[in-house]
Amino acid sequence: MVATTETFTATARRSAFPKVRARHVVMVAYLLFMLIPIYWLTKMSLQTNQEILGGFTLWPQNPTLDNYRVILTDPSWYMGYVNSITYVVMNTVLSLAVALPAAYAFSRYRFLGDKHLFFWLLTNRMAPPAVFALPFFQLYSSVGLFDTHIAVALAHTLFNVPLAVWILEGFMRGVPKEIDETAYIDGYSFPRFFIKIFMPLIASGIGVAAFFCFMFSWVELLLSRTLTAVNAQPIASIMTRTVSASGLDWGVLCAAGVLTIVPGALVIYFVRNYIAKGFALGRV
Amino acid sequence: MDKVQNNKAWFLVLPVLVLVAFSAVIPLMTVVNYSVQDTFGNNVFFWEGLGWFEQVLTDSRVHGALGRQLAFSGIILAIQIPLGIAIAVCMPKKGFWASVCLVLMALPLLIPWNVVGTIWQIMGRGDIGLVGYSLSALGIDWNYARDPLHAWITVIVMDVWHWTSLVALLAYAGLQSIPQAYYQAAKIDQASRWSVFRYIELPKMQGVLLIAILLRFMDSFMIYTEPFVVTGGGPGSATSFLSIDLVKMALGQFDLGPAAAFSLMYFLVILLVSWVFYTVMTNLDKAEGR
């Protein structure tokens, strides 16, 4: 017995060393692959356009914040961020407001057609925005909502409401039903119970759902570009139009790109353990 | 959890129903409407029957887009799934470095899709991009705007960069749920690293991997923004995938009938895959006893 343990630890020690090394090499190589493109974007955002086009450099020779100054002082740029944030926040609030009661219903009750409804919601999350671009354009034009924030916010509920329902339902299932029953016995009405007791219990779930609604609305381009022209134009669409229009100012374009990464990068640490869950609709 | 049968729960679902009906059912009905009608303008429509469907089904342009789409999705899955699993196995299991890896890996997932396109558009350029410049320095005439093969490689590398982390994070979540006792048993049996992977980790990851495959298939099947920004579907139509072609048809040329028929068939494919996805998920939930 002793002998076997010894041989076992010996083999483990012998093989563990190179194995760990290989793992580290793979991991470092992959993380470099992840980071180099982002570094490149950041690097170019700190250079003037002349320097970018003048010669190939691995890091900025004369780092400058001019590109950021252009974006933060020119309304045609910074209004893009204001517009984006406006419809993203509207969409997040709207999606959560309707998804919370629905998720509660799905997690607690069986009712006529519940499975079909759940599946139908899923198909909306999976639907290609390209299919909806034209009908959305016509629908919102005909009701006079074209080029408003509310149009984009409503359009994005197409995939965000199902997402919020699925994520919240996953979290709500983890709350024991006895809590509901005790609250009703104690004389709580449903709305009071829901707001006073239930919502604090799933606060982290609401946070995660809000984060994903924010993110998916923030990264989407096709619908937000189709539904806006001037007044509600999001930053993503301003960036693509700059590409096709006048002479390119790469530095400013890169600075705009870096600024769009900021909101995600700020909260990423807090949601790191939920990222897989959010993308897999709460099912991991 | 055993649920109570109560049809009054419908009242709680009603807001979602109304909202999604407005944002999904009405537009979809418009599409159905257009797919069976023709117009000479001025909002005068007349019945066309299944003519548009026939036209789309025999259209070589649509066939081309579908072929490219399937090839793209296939290549994406063939690269990302094995790579994602490998990364997940290599990741540190806990502690400070696990958090660092999680945060850095998740970063590309949260970047707006058009910025992902912009990043790789720049990276691939011969004059200012790291990749393009290095390849040119090695003597390769790299130009993704002119050479279809280069355009494909750029789009695929971009998608691998953008989404492999998702597969890795899902696989990692699957690995984390394996009880330590399994590894201890394998150690006692002196199992090799490969058999630990083959007979413990892979079977335990089955569920999350299915989700990963379906998610990656769906999302690559409706990819629009990234190739649109990088190549605009070109050179020629070398990288026009289904969504890019559909948007060109619907919003570029305003061919309402064919675009609507195209949309409906596209949507049916999505419906079918969604159904598979849903079945997998519910079976997974049952298996976990939820």
Q: Does B52 touch chain A (CB under 8 A)?
A: no
Is residue A3's pLDDT more than 50? no
Are B76 and B156 in contact by the 8 Å Cβ rule? The answer is: yes
Distance between A284 CA and the closest CA of chain B, angstroms? 7
* Distances from the Cα of A194 to the Cα of A89, A109, A169, angstroms: 23, 15, 14
Instruction: List, as one string, the DSSP characters of B184-216.
Output: HHHHHTT--HHHHIIIIIHHHHHHHHHHHHHHH
Q: What's the pLDDT at A165?
A: 92
Distance between B121 CA and the closest CA of chain A, angstroms? 11
Residues of A in contact with B65 (CB under 8 A): none
Residues of B in contact with A97 (CB under 8 A): 15
Q: With respect to residue B31, please indicate whether it lies within any of the assigned structural domains.
A: no
Q: With respect to residue B127, please indicate whether it lies within any of the assigned structural domains.
A: yes
Q: Using CB atoms, which residue from B30, B89, B90 is nearest to A139?
A: B30
Inspect the interface and report whether the beta carbons of A139 and B26 lie closer than 8 Å. yes
Inspect the interface and report whether the beta carbons of B170 and A215 lie closer than 8 Å. no
Inspect the interface and report whether the beta carbons of A279 and B215 lie closer than 8 Å. yes
Residue ranges of the domains in chain A? 2-45, 79-279
Q: Does A273 touch chain B (CB under 8 A)?
A: yes
Give the tens place of pLDDT for each residue, A69-111.
988 998 888 899 999 999 999 999 999 999 999 999 999 988 8
Distance CA A22, CA A232 (A): 50
Is residue A245's pLDDT more than 70? no
Residues of A in contact with B167 (CB under 8 A): none
- CATH 1.10.3720.10 for the A79-279 domain, yes or no: yes
Distance between B14 CA and the closest CA of chain A, angstroms? 8
A279 pLDDT band, cuts 50/70/90, is confident
* Closest among A31, A167, A182 to B97, alpha carbons compared: A31
Q: Does A280 touch chain B (CB under 8 A)?
A: yes
Q: With respect to residue B129, please indicate whether it lies within any of the assigned structural domains.
A: yes
Inspect the interface and report whether the beta carbons of B166 and A254 lie closer than 8 Å. no
- Structural domain boundaries, residue B133: 61-287
Q: What's the pLDDT at A2?
A: 46
A19 pLDDT band, cuts 50/70/90, is low
ipTM surpassing 0.90 = no
A232 pLDDT band, cuts 50/70/90, is confident
Distance between B5 CA and the closest CA of chain A, angstroms? 5
Q: With respect to residue B164, please indicate whether it lies within any of the assigned structural domains.
A: yes
Q: Does B114 touch chain A (CB under 8 A)?
A: yes
Are B102 and A276 in contact by the 8 Å Cβ rule? The answer is: no
- Strand stretches in A52-174, DSSP E: 109-110
Residue type, A20: V
Q: Does B105 touch chain A (CB under 8 A)?
A: yes
Residues of A in contact with B111 (CB under 8 A): 38, 219, 260-261, 264
Q: Does B151 touch chain A (CB under 8 A)?
A: no
Q: Using CB atoms, which residue from A110, A157, A279 is nearest to B4?
A: A110
Give the tens place of pLDDT for each residue, A153-185.
999 999 999 989 988 998 898 889 889 889 989
Interface mutation vs chain B, best among A275, A277, A281, most B CBs within 10 Å: A275
SS3 assignment, position A110 = strand
Q: With respect to residue B124, please indicate whether it lies within any of the assigned structural domains.
A: yes
Give the tens place of pLDDT for each residue, B236-278.
888 889 888 888 888 887 778 888 888 888 888 888 888 888 8
Q: With respect to residue B123, please indicate whether it lies within any of the assigned structural domains.
A: yes
Distance CA B161, CA B80 (A): 9
Is residue A254's pLDDT more than 70? yes
Q: How many domains does chain B have?
A: 1
* Closest among B222, B97, B79, B109 to A274, alpha carbons compared: B109
Q: What's the pLDDT at B256?
A: 80
Q: Using CB atoms, which residue from B30, B91, B119 is nearest to A257?
A: B119
Interface mutation vs chain A, best among B114, B142, B244, most A CBs within 10 Å: B114
Q: With respect to residue B177, please indicate whether it lies within any of the assigned structural domains.
A: yes
CATH number of the domain that residue B154 is part of: 1.10.3720.10
Mean of the pLDDT values across residues A229-240? 85
Sequential pLDDT tens for chain B (290 residues)? 567 888 888 888 899 989 988 888 888 888 888 888 877 666 677 787 787 888 888 888 888 899 999 999 999 999 999 999 999 999 888 888 888 998 999 899 889 999 999 899 888 888 888 888 888 888 888 888 888 899 999 999 999 999 999 999 999 988 988 899 999 999 999 888 899 999 989 988 888 888 899 889 988 998 998 888 888 887 888 888 988 888 888 888 777 888 888 888 888 888 888 888 888 878 877 776 65
A213 pLDDT band, cuts 50/70/90, is very high
